[in-house]
């Protein structure tokens, strides 16, 4: 018997009953008001969705089932050298709301290994694409191509009872997450290493095996992957990749279609692609300035020239956060501990000093602080993962943990098709005229 599945079913059954009673008693109570600015402004801050796995506070940052990132590092089971948390543990926590034991995490690592077989046709789909296809396009197509294996789609065709939707969704989630490192590593090796692929190492944890298949050896890089795949996993439900996964899933598209949808959203430069944009922008700046160690004044001039050409400073700003992102701070802590003398890391830290006051002086940027994407590139470059167009795929492998555990909850709680209301500007004008 699958202990995680059993636990999930127990927890979900209890919460479903509680929600039903709550809706019966309080269903018509008001929880929010909407302004015209929010309607035109990307629905910022409007409460429209339930997302059990994590919640974002503008000042404190993300909490996964109540645990902040520094707390997670304390309480989650760690890699073999006891330094960084294992993302398997975070998945367990997000799915059932409990910190797993070492034994439970070991079980999950083994489960994902047994489920990690990628269908042959997915490799064929990847191999049929031009090598210079963006890695996110490859990633999204590879995920969609595995839809042939969806347990949910098969069970739906057979006429599954609504009450059981969560079961094949859980199976799809586990299978899909198990396969992502192999797919991502395959994309990396075919795109940048002449298709010289590396077989999985079944003695390793999920992150360690991923690092191995990428072809980057060393315990420190494995630790970086453990941290990276943990901190990027979830950021409540309103961000574009989570919301896209949620929306697609609400039509009862299975986990493969839903995650592919989420990954297409992650591929945008205002979202996950910002991690590639940050390092590209830094290298362009170093080239333009002709130095590897620019002064703060030089950086400030370059920031101003980027802004005056009508572009954003990648890695800075956030739709919800109003403080430096704890995910940025966790990566800074890692850099301080492992690679504090790295030249690119030092540039990232100088940018951290220079950019916030400049953005603040514009008077319109609501959050002048760095987000998760401002630091990751410098860490990856240090360990030899220099091909920055691959970076968003790493983000995607991690993000799957959060959005797919949330998808399991959506099916278990019987959430309906998502269908918010849109209006035309004509409607807005005539409504205003009546106010
Ligand atoms: N550089 C320059 N201008 C910025 C800025 C930045 N980093 N961040 C926000 N602004 C500008 C906006 O473009 C907007 O300008 P206009 O009014 O002229 O259109 C104004 O400030 C107000 O925007 P905001 O309310 O502060 O920010 P939003 O909620 O609209 O957008 C975000 C948030 C992340 C898209 C934006 O800050 C941004 O473009 N940042 C750079 C890209 C980035 O790092 N994205 C990654 C975010 C994390 C992730 O999802 O991975």
- Write the pLDDT tens digit of every residue in 30-58: 999 999 999 999 999 999 999 999 999 99
| Nearest-CA residue for atom 27 of ligand 1 | 319
Give residue 297 CA to ligand 1 midpoint distance, Å. 23
- Per the CB < 8 A criterion, the answer to whether 266 and 240 are in contact is yes
Has 353 been annotated as catalytic? no
| Ligand 1 centroid, distance to 88 Cα (angstroms) | 32
Q: Where residue 225 falls among pLDDT bands split at 50, 70, 90?
A: very high
- Report whether residue 271 contacts ligand 1, using a CB cutoff of 6 Å: yes
Nearest CA, atom 11, ligand 1: 365
Residue whose Cα lies nearest atom 2 of ligand 1: it is 312
Annotated catalytic residue 57: no
pTM for the complete prediction? 0.97
368 alpha carbon – ligand 1 mean position (Å):
9
- Answer whether 213's CB lies under 8 Å from 198's CB: yes
pLDDT at 368: 98
Closest residue (by CA) to atom 29 of ligand 1?
A: 319
Q: Given this model, what pLDDT does residue 156 score?
A: 98
Residue nearest to atom 22 of ligand 1 (CA): 365
Q: Of the listed 134, 243, 271, 375, which one is catalytic?
A: 271
Does residue 412 have its Cβ closer than 6 Å to ligand 1?
no
User: Across all residues in the chain, what is the average pLDDT?
Assistant: 98
pLDDT category of residue 345 using cuts at 50, 70 and 90: very high
Residue 319 pLDDT more than 90?
yes
Please name the residue whose Cα sits nearest to atom 47 of ligand 1. Answer: 271
- Give the pLDDT mean for 133-149: 98
Interval 6-24: pLDDT, tens: 999 999 999 999 999 999 9
Atom of ligand 1 minimally distant from the CA of 317: 37
Mean pLDDT (whole number) for 179-183: 98
Paired with 78 in beta bridges are: 85
Q: pLDDT tens digit string along 186-195? A: 999 999 999 9
CA 366, chain centre distance (Å): 22
238 lines ligand 1 (CB under 6 A): no
Candidates 267, 261, 402; CA nearest to 327 is 402
Which 8-state DSSP code applies to residue 238?
A: -
Is the ipTM, as predicted for this complex, more than 0.95? yes
Looking at 212, 246, 318, 375, which residue is catalytic?
318
User: Percent of the chain, pLDDT > 90?
Assistant: 100
Sequence-ordered list of residues with C-beta below 8 angstroms from that of 374, at least 6 positions apart, any chain: 278, 314, 315, 316, 325, 328, 348, 351, 352
286 Cβ contact partners less than 8 Å away, ≥ 6 residues apart:
292, 294, 347
Q: What's the 265 CA to ligand 1 centre distance in angstroms? A: 16
Following CA atoms 411, 414, 417, 422 in sequence, which dihedral angle do they give, to the nearest 10 degrees? Answer: -120
The pLDDT of residue 363: 97
Q: How far apart are CA 348 and CA 133, in angstroms?
A: 29
The pLDDT assigned to 200 comes to: 97
Question: In DSSP terms, which residues pair with 63 in a beta bridge?
Answer: 55
Ligand 1 mutation pick, 275, 312, 356, 377, max ligand atoms within 8 A of CB: 312
Show the tokens assigned to 67.
Answer: 């645990």
Instruction: Give yes or no for residue 375 CB within 6 A of ligand 1.
Output: no
* Residue-level pLDDT at 1: 82
Residues 78-122: tens digit of each pLDDT? 999 999 999 999 999 999 999 999 999 999 999 999 999 999 999
Beta strands in 108-206 (DSSP E): none
Catalytic status, residue 373: yes
Residue 280 has a pLDDT of 97
As a whole number of angstroms, the distance between CA 392 and CA 272 comes to 6
Residue 259 has pLDDT above 90, yes or no: yes
- CA atoms lying within 13 Å on the CB side of residue 54: 33
What are the chain's domains? Answer: 1-11+44-272+384-427 (1.10.580.10), 274-382 (1.10.230.10)
């Amino acid at each position: 018997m699958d202990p995680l599945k059993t636990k999930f079913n127990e927890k979900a059954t209890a919460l479903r009953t509680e929600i039903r009673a709550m809706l019966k008693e309080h269903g018509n109570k008001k929880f929010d008001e909407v302004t015209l600015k929010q309607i035109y402004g990307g629905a910022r801050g409007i409460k429209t969705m339930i997302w059990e796995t994590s919640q974002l506070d503008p000042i404190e940052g993300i909490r996964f089932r109540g645990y902040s990132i520094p707390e997670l590092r304390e309480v989650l089971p760690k890699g073999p050298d006891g330094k960084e948390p294992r993302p398997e543990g975070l998945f367990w926590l997000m799915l059932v709301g409990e910190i797993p034991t070492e034994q439970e995490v070991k079980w999950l690592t083994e489960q994902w290994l047994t489920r990690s077989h990628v269908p042959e046709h997915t490799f064929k789909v990847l191999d049929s694409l031009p090598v210079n296809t963006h890695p996110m396009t490859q990633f999204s197509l590879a995920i969609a191509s595995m839809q042939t294996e969806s347990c949910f789609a098969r069970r739906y065709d057979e006429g599954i009872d609504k009450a059981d939707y969560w079961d094949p969704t859980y199976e799809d989630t586990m299978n899909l997450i198990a396969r992502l490192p192999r797919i991502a590593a395959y994309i990396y090796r075919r795109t940048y290493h002449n298709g010289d692929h590396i077989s999985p190492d079944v003695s390793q944890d999920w992150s360690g095996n991923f690092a191995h298949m990428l072809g980057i050896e060393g315990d420190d890089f494995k630790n970086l992957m453990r941290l990276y795949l943990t901190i990027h996993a979830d950021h409540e439900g309103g961000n574009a990749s989570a919301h896209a996964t949620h929306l697609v899933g609400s039509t009862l598209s299975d986990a493969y279609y839903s995650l592919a949808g989420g990954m297409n959203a992650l591929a945008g430069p205002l979202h996950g692609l910002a991690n590639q944009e940050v390092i590209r922008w830094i290298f362009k700046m170093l080239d333009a300035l002709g130095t590897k160690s620019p002064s703060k004044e030089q950086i400030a001039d370059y920031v101003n020239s980027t802004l005056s050409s009508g572009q954003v400073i990648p890695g800075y700003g956030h739709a919800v956060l109003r403080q430096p992102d704890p995910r940025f701070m966790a990566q800074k802590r890692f850099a301080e501990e492992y690679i504090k003398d790295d030249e690119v890391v030092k540039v990232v830290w100088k940018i951290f000093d220079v950019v916030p006051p400049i953005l603040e002086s514009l008077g319109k940027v609501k959050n002048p602080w760095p987000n998760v994407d401002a630091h990751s590139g410098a860490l990856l470059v240090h360990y030899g993962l220099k091909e920055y167009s691959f970076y968003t795929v790493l983000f995607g492998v991690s993000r799957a943990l959060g959005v797919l555990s949330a998808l399991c909850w959506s099916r278990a709680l019987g959430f309906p098709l998502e269908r918010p209301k849109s209006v035309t500007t004509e409607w807005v004008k005539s409504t205003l005229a009546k106010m």
